[in-house]
Structure 1
Amino acid sequence: MTPSASLKSGKVSSAIWPSLFSGQGLRRRRAWLCAGAAALLLSACATPQKISGLGEGPAFERAGRFALNVSNANGQREALQGGFAWRDTGRLLVLDLANPLGSILARIDVSPSSATLTRSDGRIEQAPNPDALVEEVLGSPMPVRGLRGWLQGQVGDSAVSELKKDEEGHISGFTQDGWRVRLSRYDAEGPRLLQMNRSDTSRDISVRLVVDES
């Protein structure tokens, strides 16, 4: 189901929830996707359906919930919460991002040469890589390229420091590409809890992923 079809299905009205991909981004407004007070827990968000019907043979798949929090140097705090579905064939990656009730708000398609975002209203944006695209839309980084390895309990090709493993030999922590990463709650596919943090001169960024399905 395409993002626009999902929103038109009647599962949830787009007027109820502020769009995660309205183009305003975290820099322009505070966008809480979970209903209620700002302290609402990540567990209240629904997990979107798995991505299917895309061909390309076997793929690594995960689905769950995310929370993105930013603490700015001026004292302002901003946050987004929602659900995600992930399908990675090794060559092609598809990432769906959803509102708390599980309706798809946007899809990111990643090929070896480009990344494309399709918004719920059908508008399309492109960037050289998915990290640049997510930051352009959200106003804050999310390490999509790194997650291709991290979701499978791997560290990828770039330099790694502070590598740690748990008692079972799983990678449990490291620093890579400016992100401090903690992996835990492993199943046969990889970690089911990922905590990622980074800091720069103007803000502290925290991204938390909880995997519900594989």
Structure 2
Amino acid sequence: MSKHLLPLSILCLALSACSTLPSPFSSSAPPSAQTVAPYRAQVELTGRLNVTYQKNDKPESATVNFNWQQTAQRTDVTLYSPVGSTLATIAVTPQEAVLTQSDKAPRRAPDIDTLSAQLLGWSLPVSGLRDWLQGYADGADGRRFVASPQNNSVTTKDGWRLRYVSWQDAGENTPGALPQPRRIDAERTTSAQADAVSLRIVLDPAPSPQAQ
């Protein structure tokens, strides 16, 4: 098992935790300004995750592929190595979070915050990524942020700097399609160097309606 699997497992735990929370939102922006696609409570995503963090005063970095299946009450995340081997599976419900690795007993906790603290010792954003992945965030000014290719960066209320670097190509066969995020960069810097974390999330292209 790769020494980098644990922090990446926590990254996916953070992602999956966000998706099991209630997801309605309201925005003060008029509909014409909400150029990102509407939020979806049920979604399946695939892509790649990269995390850069500090360990023993040295920078560490790792990357993993993922499959993420979300419903209103449950999220299942599978982590894969670059060659396609399953590294871990994660299941999150309102009752508990469970991390299972090959040849190891499942690790359980009542919630993601508890499990994250037990396994890693520092936390990733468990309340924001659900929104971030679809182009939404709660800004530091208390307002609801709705991303678009023209309005692509924000600092969140909990101190993360988000930037929507690129967007999905809606394609010529989907008239009126709204943009969806393709790559999201997130960075948190604090006075404690050990708490500095950078995330890069690259989502695979969404299937066309004909392929669904």
- TM-score for both structures, normalised by structure 1: 0.62
Aligned to 2:198, which of 185, 206, 213? 206
CA distance in 2, matches of 1:130, 1:189: 30
SS in structure 2 of the partner of residue 123 of structure 1: coil
Q: CA deviation at 1:138?
A: 4.4
- The answer to whether the 8 Å contact 1:108/1:130 transfers is no
Instruction: Give 2:103's aligned residue.
Output: 121
Aligned to 1:173, which of 146, 154, 171? 154
Instruction: Give 2:187's aligned residue.
Output: 197
1:68 aligns with 2:68: no
- Structure 2, unmatched stretches of 5+, are 9-40, 169-177, 207-212
CA distance in 2, matches of 1:19, 1:64: 18
Q: CA deviation at 1:19?
A: 6.3
Q: Deviations over 1:113-170 (max 9, x none)?
A: 2211111224211123234434533454333442222111122xxx531676666576
CA distance in 1, matches of 2:64, 2:198: 14
Q: CA deviation at 1:105?
A: 0.8
- The answer to whether the 8 Å contact 2:135/2:147 transfers is no
SS in structure 2 of the partner of residue 70 of structure 1: strand
Instruction: Give 2:135's aligned residue.
Output: 153
- The answer to whether the 8 Å contact 1:130/1:145 transfers is no
Higher mean displacement: 121-130 or 200-209: 121-130
Higher mean displacement: 138-147 or 59-68: 138-147
Instruction: Give 1:35's aligned residue.
Output: none
Aligned Cα root-mean-square deviation (Å): 3.0
Provide closer, same or farther for how the CA distance between residues 96 and 189 of structure 1 changes in structure 2, counting only shifts above 3 A.
farther
Correspondences of 1:1-214 after superposition (within 5 Å): 17-18=2-3, 20-21=5-6, 59-71=42-54, 75-155=57-137, 160-161=139-140, 172-187=153-168, 188=178, 190-200=180-190, 201-203=192-194, 204-214=196-206
SS in structure 1 of the partner of residue 156 of structure 2: strand
Q: Deviations over 1:69-111 (max 9, x none)?
A: 1146x74111221111111112111112222222221111111
Percent identity among equivalent residues? 33
- TM-score for both structures, normalised by structure 2: 0.62
SS in structure 2 of the partner of residue 86 of structure 1: strand
